[in-house]
Amino acid sequence: MSEALHELTIHAALDGMRRGDFNAVELTQALLDRIDQVDGQVKAYLTVTPELALAQAAAADARRAAGDDAPLLGVPLAIKDVLCTEGVRTTCGSRILENFVPPYTATAVQRLADAGMVMLGKTNTDEFAMGSSTENSGYFTTRNPWDLTRVPGGSSGGSGAAVSAQEALAALGTDTGGSVRLPASYCGVVGLKPSYGRVSRYGLVAYGSSLDQVGVLAKDVRDAALILGVMAGHDVHDSTSMPTPVPDYQAALTGDVRGLRVGLPDEYFIEGVQPEVEAAVRRAIDVLAEMGAEIVRISLPNTDKALPVYYLVATAEASANLSRFDGVRYGFSAGADSILENYRESRGQGFGAEVKRRIMLGTYALSAGYYDAYYLKAQQVRTLIKQDFERAFEQVDVIASPVAPTTAFRIGEKADDPLAMYLSDVFTITLNLAGMCGISVPCGFDNAGLPIGLQLMGPHLGEETVLRAAHAYEQATTWRSHWAQPEKAGVS
Amino acid sequence: MHLTIDEVRHVAELARLRLSEAELTLYAEQLSAILDYAETLQQVDTSHVPPTPYVLPLHNVMAEDTPVPSLPNAVALANAPDQADGFFRVRAVFED
């Protein structure tokens, strides 16, 4: 065995356990050792659960000895800390939930557990998934494993960094405006955002309910397909989960993209994109063309409206969703003298700056006199954005673009300028508004050695096509053989 | 457009958020900038465009009306900052 256990993909680890080369306890211990080695610097995890993980691993080994071969049996994974886990603290990166221990487990997580997952712990996130860097976490900022002075992207930055630093074989994230794809791009791993309704949101602490979707950060496309297949599908606890049958996503990974129509939207290749990013994405498209894909120039004319639409729709939904944090049923309570004063103080003290900013923006957009001008208008323009994609997908099978205009930025660089931070999401939020699916797959490095992500977008429930294209590209290139080495970096 | 401190104070009251004077000043400035940016939407003609509140073709999803187990009282209260006799306890809503 040439690779250390923590360096394995999920499918390689499963092969090893099936052959009896090692067992789940040994694999889990290797990951826990890796966390001990590098997480002091990377800071991907908010909570590590070693005893629980080793107990789950021992149970997985017993199941395997009894002839069980569940799809994730003994596979150590990390879970973003916005997904509820019964008996394991779930903070959402917020001080207001510092001591919250959920009484139930999110469906997406439960399905992984039923398939044999070993949970290593809960990963850092921007508070309530509101951010693009993890700098909005109420606890600490996660570091990019490729350069510890830079952000990992957000909001699922802990999950991106954990996979990139090989502190988990894969991790769950959530994507409301790019929060899986952006950290995947910045950290050089695969990030899959399924279509809205493909994965149950039950037990995902809500941010923007019409946009939120559980996704996967993984070492390769096959692993992402495997996890999606386990967690996708209808859930009686989420009325917005689609009853559509779940296909065999791994069977879609044929390596064949001949005749696949790949759209290049003019609006995603614009001024302001870092030249190395545009060059890497264009080279990736050339690779797909050499493999037999047909490249088609397209237009998504309302792309420039997506950012303001997103920041009105998402914040309006957030302002309603976060009203549940009232200091009465769970979470921080300031213990003020009147009930109204206790709401104000508990929320004012418990929430961080970005969360308060978004609640304020959303409340304003929904308030009397402004509803039509902001919220309703945004929902109407959302229709135009969705129609752009519907028209485009009559012409093409997937759409290719950069994930973000730049590679990972420095910690603190955009912390005082919310609008500049929001621009990191300019190429990812459109898919959430349209409810469609997409993936970030590594496609190179910039001059500073930072990873670049290729975004492949597909129509609603088009995951098989997106995975097929991403997998074919990945197999034709060697980017996935490059890994961050945070253990060799000095503290700066 | 520029939000005044009083407008920001009013929104904070609607949102049940205690904000410091420094926060009120900061948010007046930042929210004004974000709303200015959002003004670009006003240029879009949406007179015949229906809104998209959510993207799925699902409507009025019904569940079978059958009783299923719910959280036991003690579990539901386990995270409560204050509780008494199996209830969440809050400060009096009505003054004497």
Which residue of chain A is at minimal alpha-carbon distance from B75?
A103
What's the pLDDT score for residue B94? 79
Radius of gyration of chain B (CA): 23
Cα–Cα distance measured from residue A63 to residue A115, given in angstroms and rounded to the nearest whole number: 11
Q: What is the pLDDT of residues A250-284, one digit of tens each?
A: 999 999 999 999 999 999 999 889 999 999 999 99
Residues facing A217 on adjacent strands:
A171, A191
Residues from chain A contacting residue B83 (CB–CB below 8 Å): none
Of A339, A357, A419, the CB nearest to B90: A339
The whole-chain average pLDDT of chain A stands at: 96
Contact criterion met (CB < 8 Å) for B31 and A364: yes
The whole-chain average pLDDT of chain B stands at: 93
Residue A299 bears catalytic tag: no
What's the pLDDT score for residue A492? 43
Contact criterion met (CB < 8 Å) for A380 and B51: yes
Contact criterion met (CB < 8 Å) for A357 and B63: no
Q: Which helix (H) or strand (E) holds A79?
A: strand A76-80
Residue A164 bears catalytic tag: no
Of A100, A348, A357, the CB nearest to B30: A357
Ramachandran assignment for A283, one of left (phi > 0), alpha (psi -120 to 50 degrees), beta (any other): alpha
Residues from chain B contacting residue A307 (CB–CB below 8 Å): 37
Preceding peptide of B70 cis, ω within 30°: no
What angle separates helix A353-366 from helix A306-321, to the nearest 10 degrees?
Answer: 100
What's the pLDDT score for residue B57? 85
Cα–Cα distance measured from residue A158 to residue A172, given in angstroms and rounded to the nearest whole number: 10
Say if residue A491's pLDDT is above 70: no
Measured in angstroms, the CA of A63 and the nearest CA of chain B are apart by 28
Q: What is the mean pLDDT of residues B17-42?
A: 94
What angle separates helix A353-366 from helix B21-38, to the nearest 10 degrees?
Answer: 60
Measured distance between the N- and C-terminal CA atoms of chain B, rounded to whole angstroms: 44
Q: What is the pLDDT of residues A184-198, one digit of tens each?
A: 999 999 999 999 999
pTM value is 0.97
Measured in angstroms, the CA of B56 and the nearest CA of chain A are apart by 7
Phi, psi for residue A341 in degrees, rounded to 5: -65, -35
Q: What is the pLDDT of residues A2-18, one digit of tens each?
A: 689 999 999 999 999 99
What's the pLDDT score for residue B60? 87
For tokens 């004012």, the residue is A348
Q: What is the DSSP string of A258-286?
A: TT-EEEEEGGGS-TTS-HHHHHHHHHHHH
- DSSP 3-state assignment of A246? coil
Q: Report residue B96's pLDDT band, with 50, 70 and 90 as the boundaries.
A: low
Contact criterion met (CB < 8 Å) for A359 and B17: yes
Mutation test of the interface with chain B: which of A380, A385, A386, A414, choosing the one with the most B Cβ atoms within 10 A? A380
Measured in angstroms, the CA of A484 and the nearest CA of chain B are apart by 36
Q: What is the mean pLDDT of residues B1-29?
A: 95
All structural domains of chain B with their residue ranges = 5-43
Contact criterion met (CB < 8 Å) for A379 and B31: no
Question: Percentage of chain A with pLDDT > 90?
Answer: 95
Of B37, B42, B49, the CB nearest to A384: B49
Q: What ipTM was reported for this prediction?
A: 0.95
Residue A132 bears catalytic tag: no
Lowest mean pLDDT among A116-120, A320-324, A417-421: A417-421
List domains and CATH numbers for chain A: 5-301+386-488 (3.90.1300.10)
Nearest Cα neighbor of A471 from A233, A229, A288 is A288
Q: Report residue A440's pLDDT band, with 50, 70 and 90 as the boundaries.
A: very high
What's the pLDDT score for residue B63? 84
Q: Choosing from A94, A133, A179, A195, which is the catalytic residue? A: A179
Instruction: Assign domain B5-43 one CATH number from 3.40.630.30, 2.60.120.330, 3.90.1150.10, 1.10.20.60.
Output: 1.10.20.60
Which residue of chain B is at minimal alpha-carbon distance from A383?
B52
Q: Is the dihedral of CA A408, A413, A419, A420 positive or negative?
A: negative
Measured in angstroms, the CA of B68 and the nearest CA of chain A are apart by 12
Q: Choosing from A155, A195, A241, A440, which is the catalytic residue? A: A155
Q: What is the mean pLDDT of residues A310-327?
A: 97
Contact criterion met (CB < 8 Å) for A312 and B38: yes
Q: Report residue A490's pLDDT band, with 50, 70 and 90 as the boundaries.
A: low
Q: What is the pLDDT of residues A380-417, one digit of tens each?
A: 999 999 999 999 999 999 999 999 999 999 999 998 88
Q: What is the pLDDT of residues A129-144, one digit of tens each?
A: 999 999 999 999 999 9
Contact criterion met (CB < 8 Å) for B18 and A338: no
Q: Which two tokens stand for residue A249?
A: 């996503």
For tokens 């237009």, the residue is A299
Residues from chain A contacting residue B9 (CB–CB below 8 Å): none
Which residue of chain B is at minimal alpha-carbon distance from A102?
B79
